[in-house]
Amino acid sequence: MRITALVIRILRQIVRDKRTIALLIFAPILVLSMLYLVFNGNDYIPKVGLVNIPEQIENKLDLEHADITRYDSINQAEKDLSKKALDGYVLFENQQPSVFLEGSDPSANSSVLKWLQDALKPLQHSGPQKEIKIDYLYGSSDMGQFDYFGPILLGYFVFFFVFLIAGVSFLRERTTGTLERLLSSPLRKWEIVTGYIIGFGIFTTIQAAIIAWYTIYVLNMMMEGAFGFVLLITLLVSLTALTLGTLLSSFANNEFQMIQFIPLVIVPQLFFSGLFNPETISDWLGWIGPLTPLYYANEALRDVMIRGYGWDMIYQDLLILAGFSLLFMILNIMALRKYRRI
């Protein structure tokens, strides 16, 4: 009887918490639906440039299954390659085919090389098989999957843990009455939010720096740019996660409800942060990516760590991250109004 009474009490608690029931049912459906749309998206079509290919050779090539752009000069092809408008360009020197790859994405590299092998098959009937010369703008043939996915995982885990710690800590401040006492003091709402952000921010900055240092210098992840830019990016990622975590904690009544935001807010961002090529994701789902902070954070991390870019190439992503943080801070201030007693 006592066990039955305990079971009934637990079931009643769950039934009364409508949000928990909704999460248990709809969150897995949402995540699984996203996975279905991501994995069953379009096949990736490589973007390939042809530079001064003789007409008699081009007519023999199988140019299907690629987005082809023709160039009259290598300089223009190299410009488009550096702007990521191409995955690679092909040219013939003394009847010898060579390909110059953008190189930062191993899957795109594989797509270009596979397409090129198929495209050259008609030429093999007219002579011996020609060896393809391969060069890289970024990376090399030794670049592994960890080097490519590492910046994404670095940004994601920094974001995830800061979001979780900040949200739960701020929630505890509210449930223990500390926030209510602060609101009854002469402190203004923006001063309270700023104080919490700076306080938690000092810790999260140290955390992000340690994670970035360990990933690059202990795990030997590819690092072509300046480490200082990686620290700056991870700092902005931490600040964005911190402000978002404190904001969403305003809509949770306990730690369990705070954790409920993870499959709804954090997990979907992983799908659109670069872990999967955005061109292969269903068109009507791909628009979500640019609305998420990790989309810009991971693009900036890749630009620095893999492509070796500097400030002039990443500043726009950093400004957008700072804009997300400012927006979440303003919403935080507005959310505190419901806790101030009149």
Question: Where do the structural domains in the chain lie, given as residue ranges?
Answer: 47-136, 145-339
pLDDT digits (tens, 9 = 90+) for 161-192: 888 888 888 777 777 776 667 667 777 777 77
Decide: 196 and 280 in contact? Cβ < 8 Å: no
Tokens for 244?
């978002």
- Of residues 139 and 52, which shows the higher confidence score? 52
Q: Where are the alpha helices (DSSP H) in 250-266?
A: 255-259, 261
103-112, 174-183, 253-262: range with highest mean pLDDT: 103-112
CATH number of 47-136: 3.40.190
Does pLDDT of 328 surpass 80?
A: yes
Task: Please tell me the predicted confidence (pLDDT) of residue 341.
Answer: 45
The position carrying tokens 């505190």 is: 336
Coil vs helix vs strand at 290: helix
Percent of the chain with pLDDT over 70: 85
Global pTM value: 0.79
Structure letter (DSSP) for residue 280 = G
**Owner of token pair 């970035």:** 212
